[in-house]
């Protein structure tokens, strides 16, 4: 079972995504901001995919991606969710695997997650 970490400050989105992703057969972990997300990574190890909101208080998507790059050599693919107009550029800037603009249709998000997981290089076994 693939694990997805959802980093998003909007409580209702976290709530809904957790239910929806779990129903689709993923294990879901959540974090309200980048700092909490890093703690989760420390505690539970790396997930198979990170769904990341960019603008969050305390630690935003940029800062989180920077620390992620520094700390983890074999980081999992990151898919960013953003309401910004220049989402594509932002995704490229932080080396994200892909992006989806808010508001999005659930079906598209699920397809994107599936596609990203299947094309991701599996983490080395050792």
Partner 1 sequence: MFVSNCLFGCLGALNWLLYLKIKKSNKLTLGGTQNSLERQINIKMITSFLIIVYLGLLNVVIHLGVYDSPLIYWGISVVVAAAVVYSIPGVITWFLLGLTFYPVSLFLKRNWFAAHAISLNRFQTEVLNEASYMGILLFIGYVVYLFQKRLSNTLENLRQSRHFLLQAQNVANIGVYSLDINLGKWESSTILDRIFGIDKAFNRSVEGWASLIHPEDHGFMLDHFQNDVLGKHFQFNKEYRIIRQNDDKVRWLHGKGELEFNLQSQPTKMIGTIQDITERKIIELELVAAKNEAEAALKTKATFLDIAAHELRTPITTLALLLDVLQKENEKGLAPSASIVIRFRKQVDRLTGLVLDLLDMSRLDRGIIVLRPERTNLVHFIKKCVEEFRFQFPSRRFSYVESDKAIEIEMDTVRIHQVLSNLVDNANKYTPTDSPIEIKIEDLPEMVRVSVIDCGQGISKEIQEHLFTEFFRGNTQETNRADGLGLGLSVCRGIMDLHGGKIGVLSELGKGSTFYFELYKKSKTA
Residue 13 to residue 61: CA distance in whole angstroms:
16
Residues 19-58 that bind partner 1 (CB under 8 A): 19-20, 23, 55-57
CB 33 within 8 A of CB 63: no
Q: Which is nearer to partner 1, 83 or 123 (CB)?
A: 83
* Strand order from edge to edge, sheet including 3-7: 27-31, 3-7, 49-53, 78-82, 98-101
9 binds partner 1 (CB under 8 A): yes
Interface with partner 1 by CB under 8 A: which range of 17-25, 63-71, 91-99, 113-121?
17-25
Query: Closest Cα to residue 124, out of 77, 79, 78, 73?
Result: 73
Nearest distance from C-beta of residue 117 to partner 1, angstroms? 20
Question: Can you name the residues that pair with 62 across neighbouring β-strands?
Answer: none
State the binding string over 76-105 for partner 1 (x if CB under 8 A, else -).
-------xxx----------------xxxx
Decide if 27 contacts 48 (C-beta within 8 A). no
* Residue 108 makes contact with partner 1 by CB under 8 A: no
Distance from C-alpha of 91 to C-alpha of 78, rounded to nearest angstrom: 9
Question: Which one, 105 or 121, has the nearer CB to partner 1?
Answer: 105
Query: Contact residues for partner 1 (CB under 8 A)?
Result: 9-10, 12-13, 15-17, 19-20, 23, 55-57, 83-85, 102-106
């Amino acid at each position: 079972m693939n694990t997805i970490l959802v980093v998003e400050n909007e409580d209702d989105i976290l709530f809904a995504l957790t239910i929806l992703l779990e129903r689709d057969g993923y294990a879901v972990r959540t974090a309200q901001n980048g700092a909490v997300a890093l703690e989760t990574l420390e505690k539970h190890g790396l997930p198979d995919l990170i769904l990341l909101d960019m603008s969050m208080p305390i630690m935003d998507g940029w800062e989180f991606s920077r620390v992620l790059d520094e700390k983890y050599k074999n980081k999992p693919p990151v898919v960013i969710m953003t309401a910004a107009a220049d989402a594509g550029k932002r995704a490229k800037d932080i080396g994200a695997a892909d992006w989806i603009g808010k508001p999005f249709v659930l079906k598209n998000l699920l397809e994107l997650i599936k596609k990203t997981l299947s094309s991701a290089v599996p983490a080395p076994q050792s």
